[in-house]
Amino acid sequence: MARIIAVGNRKGGVGKTTTIIELAKEFSDRDYTVLVVDFDPQGNATHKLLGLELDEDLEEGMSQAMDLFMQPKIGIVDCIYKATDDWPNVHILPSSDTLANLDVLLNGRMGYEKILRNKLTEIESSYDVILIDTGPEINVKTFLAFFASDLVLIPTDLSEDAHNGIYAAYAVLDSLAEHSGRDNISRTILITQSQKEHSKAHKIAKQRLIKDFGSAVIDSFTIPHRAKVRESSWAFTPAISAKTVFNKSKKSQEQFVLSYKKLAETVYGESRSEDN
Ligand SMILES: Nc1ncnc2c1ncn2[C@@H]1O[C@H](COP(=O)(O)OP(=O)(O)OP(=O)(O)O)[C@@H](O)[C@H]1O
Ligand SMILES: [Mg+2]
């Protein structure tokens, strides 16, 4: 049975997709079989894993991925693609612009939140880890993604907006517990893009996070800010992870890779929760 992990935070740009990509790389390096579900119409994870130049077949396949959730007859296995050779062991259920329509189509349908989980049940025995990326908003897709997961990982920077974004993710989890009986999804908060860790401002913001969200916050490490990560999204294509970028880079960058290694251990270590 795969361990299923979604990332979510209503705040944009806090490192959700970066976290998915780095975890995929980390698990793939360990020879785990990985499925990335791109549930963000921006398709950032899709483009990282499949490359920027998509052929026609793939474009068509991506819009089919959207039909998957509307037509019970379509099997999920027909919508999954192998990532480029940079990503051995990684498969992807790609996203496209049309995924945005899913919210309107599913809104108000009985039991809509179970749709992704049910689809994943068809293939989860083929994977060790399934990673679900979500976009910078709370919508129907957030409910589907969280319902499907054993763990919701919430990347956050130390801004007030991102802090509020965590509350929004918690509200979804609380609603799923109350209205859908899904009360056993773990929550983990990861501080990303962390700078000046020893500054007073950083310490105060971190304390505030711990005060509000307690032991859900990973206290033992953060993901450091590294300018190269942002630059690499343009400079290196089609698919690249920070690990590859940093291979030829300064030693100081290694902390980034090391932190994601620790994260992989943290999020894979917990045992899988029971289904409802
Ligand atoms: N630790 C980091 N240091 C520096 N830049 C980073 C770091 N993590 C992510 N970034 C950069 O910040 C930008 C936003 O990251 P990312 O796309 O992962 O965020 P996101 O939460 O997925 O955004 P969205 O909400 O739009 O989906 C990207 O350009 C990425 O390269
Ligand atoms: Mg993203």
- What is the C-alpha R_g of the chain? 18
Is pLDDT of 81 > 50? yes
pLDDT band at 127 (very low <50, low <70, confident <90, very high): very high
Distance from residue 115's CA to the centre of ligand 1 (Å)? 28
User: Of the residues 18, 39, 99, 241, which should be mutated to test ligand 1's pocket, given the most ligand atoms within 8 Å of the CB?
Assistant: 18
What's the Cα-to-Cα distance from 37 to each of 22, 52, 158, 213, 269, rounded to whole Å? 14, 17, 27, 27, 21
**What CATH code would you report for 3-269?**
3.40.50.300
pLDDT for 144-194, tens place per residue? 999 999 999 999 999 999 999 999 999 999 999 999 999 999 999 999 999
Q: For residue 257, give the ligand nearest its CA.
A: 1
pLDDT band at 51 (very low <50, low <70, confident <90, very high): confident
Q: Look at residue 72 in the predicted model and tell me its pLDDT.
A: 76
Q: Look at residue 196 in the predicted model and tell me its pLDDT.
A: 86
Q: Name the closest-CA residue to atom 23, ligand 1.
A: 13
- With CA atoms as reference, report the closest residue to 11 among 189, 197, 230, 204: 189
Read off the amino acid at residue 102: L
Q: For residue 227, give the ligand nearest its CA.
A: 1
In angstroms, the CA 189 to CA 162 distance is 11
Tokens 């990509």 belong to residue: 21
Distance from residue 184's CA to the centre of ligand 1 (Å)? 28
Q: For residue 155, give the ligand nearest its CA.
A: 1
- With CA atoms as reference, report the closest residue to 190 among 24, 45, 19, 5: 19
Q: Look at residue 241 in the predicted model and tell me its pLDDT.
A: 54
What would the mean pLDDT of 27-40 be, rounded to a whole number?
95
Q: Look at residue 238 in the predicted model and tell me its pLDDT.
A: 35
Tell whether ligand 1 has an atom less than 6 A from the beta carbon of residue 48: no
The mean pLDDT value of the chain amounts to 87
Q: Look at residue 123 in the predicted model and tell me its pLDDT.
A: 95
Is pLDDT of 233 > 70? no
What would the mean pLDDT of 69-94 be, rounded to a whole number?
88
**The ligand 1 atom nearest the CA atom of 40:** 27
Phi, psi for 264 (deg, rounded to 5): -55, -40
Distance from residue 14's CA to the centre of ligand 1 (Å)? 6
Tell whether ligand 1 has an atom less than 6 A from the beta carbon of residue 46: no
Q: Look at residue 274 in the predicted model and tell me its pLDDT.
A: 38
Q: Name the closest-CA residue to atom 29, ligand 1.
A: 230
More confident position, 216 or 97: 216
Q: Look at residue 146 in the predicted model and tell me its pLDDT.
A: 98
In angstroms, the CA 264 to CA 33 distance is 14
pLDDT band at 59 (very low <50, low <70, confident <90, very high): low
Domain ranges of the chain: 3-269
- With CA atoms as reference, report the closest residue to 146 among 7, 1, 241: 7
What would the mean pLDDT of 101-109 be, rounded to a whole number?
87
More confident position, 263 or 228: 263
pLDDT band at 122 (very low <50, low <70, confident <90, very high): very high
